[in-house]
Amino acid sequence: MTLITAALVMMFFYAPFARTDALGGGKLATRIGEVREVRLEDGSTLILDTGTSINVDLSAEQRVVSLERGRARFRIAHDAARPFIVRFGQNEILSPGTIFDVTYGHRIAIHLLEGSADVKVHGWRSSARSERLFRLHPGEQLAFLDGQAMSPSVMSAKPTDEQWVSGVKDLDDVPISEVIAEANSYSTTQIVLADPGLGSREIFGSVHIRDIDAVAEAIAAFLEARIDRSHPGKLIITK
């Protein structure tokens, strides 16, 4: 385990999400750096991460949310007569009421927090016609890369997989490059390593991942480096 300087373990304040009043249908998207809580007319709530886009369609027969890109937490109000379906690409999740996270991009991941859910995966290979149905239980995750050759499999999820909602990231020997990539996804200002080779170094601690300046300062302190702020839109960490 890599020891980390005290600079990476930082105090933070909780900023409440922006909220959207009851939504019965239509599209909604978050900007870079925005995290939004959405309340649906059926009583369900969604938390949309940065750069996320959804389309909502609630009817008397079913409730459908299409995740077009990004990451969202679904807290579904139970309704046995009206199933809740989350669609992302050719895949979908079906549940009468539960809590789970979905990430949809090059990497696809479903992490179940409470209840149970059925996940229908169609064509994890770009040319595949096959379809598989998975049943997820609390603490389990189904994750795969778009177009991967191997069939996805269910596994236990790490507790850190759900920390994006609070914004406080616990780092347990995580490569610096991964920390930077996640922090950059929340900001138009980007952290850059002058020496990309430093990105493979692993760090340990806790950091508020949505505070780009705090993340840059913590990494710089760990590397015993400085931050070059002379380039607009960039925080360059250099020795």
The predicted model scores a pTM of 0.84
Give me the pLDDT at residue 123, please: 59
> Tell me, what CATH number does 131's domain have?
2.60.120.1440
Its domain, for residue 195, covers: 167-238
Give me the pLDDT at residue 125, please: 60
The residue from 100, 134, 160 where one domain ends is: 160
* Token reading at 165: 């909602």
Domains in the chain, number? 2
Torsion from C-alpha of 190, 195, 201, 206, nearest 10 degrees: -30
Packing angle of the helix pair 212-223, 176-184 (nearest 10 deg): 160
Q: Rounded distance, CA 43 to CA 149, Å?
A: 39
Give me the pLDDT at residue 130, please: 67
φ/ψ of residue 168, rounded to 5: -90, 115
Note whether 150 and 215 are same-domain residues. Answer: no
Note whether 84 and 104 are same-domain residues. Answer: yes
> Tell me, what CATH number does 180's domain have?
3.55.50.30
Q: Which residue, among 88, 109, 87, 113, has the nearest Cα to 100 in the 3D structure?
A: 113
Give me the pLDDT at residue 12, please: 40
pLDDT by position in tens, the chain (length 239): 344 443 444 444 444 578 887 888 899 999 999 999 999 999 999 999 999 999 999 998 999 999 999 999 999 999 988 999 999 988 999 988 899 999 999 889 999 999 999 999 875 565 556 678 999 999 999 998 877 777 788 999 876 667 888 888 888 889 999 999 999 999 999 999 999 999 999 998 888 899 999 999 999 999 999 999 999 999 999 98
Task: Please report, for residues 1, 143, 192, 227, the alpha-carbon distance to residue 238 in angstroms, rounded to integers and kept in the order given.
Answer: 24, 35, 9, 6
Note whether 35 and 145 are same-domain residues. Answer: yes
Task: Please report, for residues 98, 143, 211, the alpha-carbon distance to residue 11 in angstroms, rounded to integers and kept in the order given.
Answer: 32, 32, 11
Note whether 192 and 80 are same-domain residues. Answer: no
Note whether 54 and 127 are same-domain residues. Answer: yes
